[in-house]
Amino acid sequence: MTVIGKGSEEKTLRRLIAESGLQDRCRIVDWLPRMDVLAEMRSSDIFLFPSFRDGGGAVVVEAMASGLPVIVLDSGGPGAHVRDAWGIKIAPAEPEKVIREMAAAMGKLLADPDLRKRMGEAGRARVQDFYVWDRLGDRMMDVYDFALGGNRPADLNLPD
């Protein structure tokens, strides 16, 4: 497992890794250049994004573009980016419940390589269809059409 980033829980995480005897299987990297982060993603099996505070979650879309199934908290941007076909959303709740559900989601994905592959491919297809610049103009036209009384876009997360 590779953790990229620095935060207030780093000391706790390092302690838990040591107490569990997982130093040879887990590493924490404070910071990497963007290209190195993307390379790490491409060499990974799953992308876990447990942030309560990140409102955008663009890194989740980057993970999807890298063909990774994603596990996120169903909150803000990360929750809006993920569908069942390419990821698993965990409802924000008390920390112990969130931890149990994230562990179960990771276990489910690790135990089923075919599921990881299907979800990764679905996430990559979603990025190609929905997030690339060429398609964003089409999406904006759908929003404008809807705002002017046209048909509701099926896939834009617009409020009722």
Structure tokens at 44: 């990974």
Question: Which H or E run contains 70?
Answer: strand 70-73
Distances (CA, A) of 157 to 2, 7, 76, 99: 32, 31, 12, 27
3-state helix, strand and coil shares in percent for the chain, rounded to the nearest 5? 50, 10, 35
pTM of the model: 0.85
CATH 2.60.40.420 assigned to 46-147: no
> Would you kindly state where each structural domain of the chain is located, as residue ranges?
46-147
User: Could you count the other beta carbons within 10 Å of the beta carbon of residue 12?
Assistant: 10
pLDDT tens-place string over residues 75-122: 988 999 999 999 999 999 999 999 999 999 999 999 999 999 999 999
Q: What angle do CA 53, 59, 62 make, to 5 degrees?
A: 160
pLDDT tens-place string over residues 119-158: 999 999 999 988 888 777 787 888 888 888 888 776 665 5
